[in-house]
Amino acid sequence: MRFPQLRDLGNAATDWIVYGVPFDGGTTFHPGARFGPRAIRDASQYLKAASMELEVDLSLTFSMADGGDSPVAPYACADNLEVVTTFAQGLGADSAAHLLALGGDHSISLTNIRVAWERAGRPAAGLAALIFDAHLDTVDTVWGESYGHASFLRRAIEDGCIDASRTAIVGIRGSLNTLDDLKYARDQNITLIPMSSFIDDFAAGERTVLQFRDRIGDAPVYFSCDVDAADPACAPGTGTPVCGGFSSAQLLGLIRRFAGAQVVGADVVEVCPARDLSQNTAMLAAQIAFEFLCVDAVGRRA
Ligand SMILES: [Mn+2]
């Protein structure tokens, strides 16, 4: 979106800082999401600042900057969390700036959630969360790894940064690692809005989403979008694609339904450019990031 670079602003005060996390060491299937940030930036060049649907102009509402890419620890998920957390904590002149992370695989969300929670004043209950994903990401461990891309949500809940009872996962479908993942999500009282609830009657699924929106109200909320929430026809460039997902229009429309929400941090993850020959996935990811910012801008415009 041709934001200025944060370093050129002398690390000035900003409302939102976008930064990349070129890490895919948490991937369980096709690797390559480490190249996601540059692909999303490239695709974002055509995005302008004003939203047709939400009638808000980001350039008039926010001061925004690109914070560059975080250093990473490519061979170690737990080490990577620490490296990225330190980088993210240092972004911006003060801790008022909200952070939007571009992945990278979904493991990187844990760092951005942690820093968003800190910047929101460490609320004891944790942040509310809206997550779009084909997968639950509530796996305890995979191949002995507790910090891979299938476990970020479970770790964020354990850390107290996310309030499971005010968390929704939208678009879940297909095969699970084990039924334990589902049991954990249900036991934690996460609001599960599976793809199946939209198939026969999209409006019925959307009503469930709106009920969740009304329940979180104006509480600080974290947004995360794994691009595999979209169908592989719209977002082929991702590491763990699952058939039967949202169209781009459906996904963007659901995000816009949260217009006015108090978004305190966000990420868009799992763009794998090597499998994205059309660049459709990177384009969609850039648009999702734009919509996240517009949703927050509507609330601050007033
Ligand atoms: Mn995911």
Q: How confident is the model at residue 93 (pLDDT cuts 50, 70, 90)?
A: confident
- Residue 236: name the closest of 278, 267, 194 by CA: 278
Of 230, 262, 268, residue with least CA distance to 1: 268
Angle formed at CA 221 by CA 217 and CA 227, multiple of 5 degrees: 120
Report field, pTM of the whole predicted structure over 0.95: yes
Q: Please report, for the chain, the start and end positions of each structural domain, with discontinuous segments joined by +.
A: 6-301
pLDDT of residue 185: 97
Residues composing the chain = 302
CB proximity list for 290: less than 8 A, separation 6 or greater = 1, 44, 47, 51, 58
Q: What is the pLDDT of residues 242-298, one digit of tens each?
A: 999 999 999 999 999 999 999 999 999 999 999 999 999 999 999 999 999 999 999
Instruction: Reply yes or no on whether the pLDDT at 178 is more than 90.
Output: no
Q: Which of 60, 63, 58, 87 is nearest to 8 (CA)?
A: 63
**What is the DSSP code (8-state) at residue 3?**
P
Give distance in angstroms: CA of 268 to centre of ligand 1: 10
Q: How far is the CA of 135 from the centre of ligand 1 (A)?
A: 6
pLDDT tens-digit series, residues 183-211: 999 999 999 999 999 999 999 999 999 99
| CA 272 vs CA 101, 175, 236: distances in Å | 15, 21, 9
The CA 233 to ligand 1 mean position distance, Å, reads: 18
| Protein fold of 6-301 | Arginase; Chain A (3.40.800)
> Ligand 1 center to residue 10 CA distance, Å?
34
Distance, in Å, from the CA atom of 23 to the CA atom of 40, rounded to the nearest integer, reads 14
Report in angstroms the alpha-carbon separations of 170 from 28, 65, 164, 228, 259: 21, 29, 14, 11, 17
Confidence band of 302 (pLDDT split at 50, 70, 90): low
Residues with CB under 5 A from ligand 1 (ion): 106, 133, 135, 137, 226
